[in-house]
Structure 1
Amino acid sequence: MSRTEPRRGRPRDPEADRRIREAAAGLLLERGIDGMTVDAVAERAGVGKATLYRRWSGKDELVLAAAEALFALEVRVPDTGTLLGDLTEVYTDLLRLAGSDEGRAFFRLAATEAGRDPRMGELYRISLAGRLAEVSEIFDRAIGRGELPPDVDRQLMFDWPAGVIVMRILTDMPLPGVDEAAAMAHATVHGFGAR
């Protein structure tokens, strides 16, 4: 008959990982990397520091986990039947996000920290590549309908609206409003789609 070792300590909380990541992501947006502390994350997540350190070795790893969670934004891929309609909806979502306090903080964090820390830069590049892969379906359909040339520069089409948003956030200029999404889509279609 084999003896089993008695379990020591409290059972592992399966929700702790999620709470810690959410707390870290929230504090990262609110305070930036320098202002985010392990103590504050543990307090907000409702866990002890030992629980946190069992999962991440320190603040650097925790920052990367939080950034990874932030960069994992879901992107809606509409199918309105036209490139203009699809891009108008995509830009509406993008401008709505950028216009929120959390979105503004996210874009500022992504731009500043990606340039400061190569690991954050790599996370941001991976995130952007994933977003481009998700919305490539829009470009494929547009090429199939003859709205875009087959050799269109998808990367540039994808980058330019986010570039405008990041530049304006970093320079504290007014962002385009949600009501300007159609005009931005029109500029994209008639700029990139021109033959």
Structure 2
Amino acid sequence: METNNGERPRRGRPRDPEAEPRIRRHAIQLLLERGFDGMTVDDVAEAAGVGKATIYRRWASKEELAHDAMTEVFSIEVPDPDTGSIAGDLTQVYADAVVFASSKEGLALIRLAISEINRDELTAALYRRFLQHRIDLTAAAVDRARSRGEAIRPDADISVMVQWLAGVLIMRALTGEPMPGVEDVDALVRMTLFGICGDAATTVRDRTTAER
């Protein structure tokens, strides 16, 4: 394309391909540090090294930016261990969960999720999908246990299996009580096994401990 005098028009500044992920990353960071009310588009723009116009070309509002950031938060990969026993699977999942929840970033994320779930129905839907994914993975682990002949009660409630530990972590985040530590994992697993295996829970747990 040429102008009337034969010169090519000057092109604007090329689009920065890294701008969008950088903006999203800093939005997550500021949400974790300050919550939705404390995060501003001005601060995100400054932290990401872009102008506000760059943000508004991609997100029409602060609410859209926050929701997009929370979408990325809830897209984290959920581990799905297959250790050969339900007790071993739960031990690995619970250890990962308490280590994360006990970290500064993990605690901030739990508190942010609580506030965003109560503020924004779209974020609440994200959390429900995330929790359902964890329930689906746990159901698959229980099915594997049954196929191995492990004594899982036929009425074991998989949703409660997942929700009760999530409830403990959320309550402790809200009240400021210390999070369970790795040293508490065996006790947490025993409680779950008792709920899904009944009287067979002790035998299942003892056999798994002996195999370590």
- Whether these two folds match at TM > 0.5 is yes
**Equivalent residue, structure 2, for 1:82:** 85
CA contact (8 A) 1:143 1:149 kept: no
- Tell me which structure has the larger Cα radius of gyration: 2
**Is residue 75 of structure 2 the alignment partner of residue 72 of structure 1?**
yes
**Equivalent residue, structure 2, for 1:179:** 183
| Partner-residue secondary structure (3-state), 2:198 | coil
The count of aligned residue pairs is 193
**Counterpart among 143, 155, 158 of residue 140 in structure 1:** 143
**Equivalent residue, structure 2, for 1:190:** 194
**Equivalent residue, structure 1, for 2:34:** 31
Shift of 1:60: 0.3
Deviations 1:121-159 (A, max 9, x none): 112112212232334331221222233234421111111
**Which moves more between the two structures, 146-155 or 49-58?**
146-155
Q: Label 1:187 to 1:46 Cα distance change in 2 as closer, same or farther (>3 A).
A: same
**Equivalent residue, structure 2, for 1:16:** 19
| Partner-residue secondary structure (3-state), 1:182 | helix
Deviations 1:82-121 (A, max 9, x none): 1111101100000001000110011111122212321221
Question: 5+ residue gaps in structure 2?
Answer: 3-7, 200-212
TM-score normalized with structure 2 length: 0.84
Mapping 1:20-169, distance limit 5 Å: 20-147=23-150, 148-169=152-173
The RMSD of aligned alpha carbons is 1.8
**Equivalent residue, structure 1, for 2:206:** none
Q: Which has the higher contact order (CA 8 A, sep 6+)?
A: 1
Separation of aligned partners in 2, 1:47 and 1:135: 42
Identity in percent: 52
Deviations 1:159-190 (A, max 9, x none): 11111000111011121111111211111012
CA contact (8 A) 1:38 1:59 kept: yes
Question: 5+ residue gaps in structure 1?
Answer: none
**Which moves more between the two structures, 175-184 or 92-101?**
175-184
Q: Label 1:7 to 1:14 Cα distance change in 2 as closer, same or farther (>3 A).
A: farther
Counterpart amino acid of 2:42?
A: D
Q: Label 1:7 to 1:167 Cα distance change in 2 as closer, same or farther (>3 A).
A: farther
**Which moves more between the two structures, 98-107 or 170-179?**
170-179
**Which moves more between the two structures, 33-42 or 137-146?**
137-146
- After TM superposition, the runs of 4+ consecutive aligned structure 1 residues lying more than 3 A away are 3-8
CA contact (8 A) 1:143 1:150 kept: no
**Which moves more between the two structures, 95-104 or 172-181?**
172-181
